Structure 1
């Protein structure tokens, strides 16, 4: 059973990522414009602080968050953002991760499904949305594969929640 804290924080972070993806699809991305003007380092560090303040989560741009479980199979690519969400007392921590991949979404979706081949399919894979859920005795993982900036790249989102009794 997932805790309310995980669901709330996951939805907030997922919404922020979705907003960023949506803005990227528009002609001029105000976030990118700001980054060009203020410098990538300042925006990146400020962005981390803003998301951390809003969600109470630990945000890492370009790397796995501390404590991310080795058991989760990830696609090869560049980590965009990783977030660690503190669980309720005794529940363990949850994670949200985005990885940019230089491969088309259909191929990446096949790679994801193959990587989770030994896991239980907790939510049927949706071919139209390129997403689904997997679980084992320790983790519940929701994966979504989104189109990137071109037909030849993708963004893979993972929401990782510890299994609780």
Structure 2
């Protein structure tokens, strides 16, 4: 597995852990901040990229990628790609994300059309590949340049 893929996988795992923890527990703010800082440090160390738990998009995130409305709970970028996780109240976050991508000119790769994974979709605009995956609580975007 390439370093970029390993880094993105680590970032996605960290984002999933943060969403799971924030949804299942209501820790004291200081404890939550300590956990977020530890996750950020671990992922940054593993990927060499910038990681944000909550708040802003990572540096260099492509403006051509439309995102669903909601709260950014985790974001990471390695320079070779980005992962952004958004908590949203939308009834169908993945469907909304796909609709926004398609409205912006992203299309499904015909070679990948036969592969259907519930709760996930891959779209491309010729410059960026965007994998969206999620459930009723939110959606994660993995954005990589088209090779």
Q: Normalized against structure 2, the TM-score is what?
A: 0.79
Give a deviation string over 1:51-105, Cα, whole Å, max 9, x none.
Answer: 211232210122100111000010011111110013xxxxxx310000110122x
Give 1:41 deviation, angstroms.
3.8
Distance 1:101 1:25 in 2: 12
Note the C-alpha offset of 1:22.
4.7
User: Which of 127, 130, 146 is the matching residue for 2:135?
Assistant: 146
- For 1:129 and 1:163, locate their aligned partners in 2 and report how far apart those are by CA, in whole Å: 23
Q: Which is higher, the Rg of structure 1 or of structure 2?
A: 1
8 Å CA contact 2:18, 2:74 repeated in 1: no
User: How far apart, CA to CA, are the structure 2 residues paired with 1:78 and 1:39?
Assistant: 20
Residues 113-132 of structure 1 mapped to structure 2, 5 A cutoff: 113-117=98-102, 118-122=105-109, 123-124=112-113, 126=116, 129-132=118-121
Query: Within the alignment, does 1:155 sit opposite 2:142 as a pair?
Result: no
Correspondence 1:109 to 2:107: no
Name the structure 2 match of 1:81: 74
Shift of 1:13: 1.9
Higher strand share: 1
* Secondary structure class of the residue paired with 2:96: helix
Distance (whole Å) between structure 2 residues aligned to residue 37 and residue 119 of structure 1: 39
Q: Which residue of 2 aligns with 1:136?
A: 125
Query: Structure 1 regions of 5+ residues with no counterpart?
Result: 87-92, 148-153
| Alignment TM-score, normalising by the size of structure 1 | 0.72
Residue 115 of structure 1 deviates from its aligned partner by 0.9
CA distance in 2, matches of 1:25, 1:45: 18
Q: How large is the Cα RMSD of the aligned pairs? A: 2.5
Q: Is the 8 A contact 1:98 1:156 kept in 2?
A: yes
Aligned length: 141
C-alpha contact (below 8 Å) 1:78/1:100 kept by paired residues: yes
Q: 2:2: which partner in 1?
A: 4
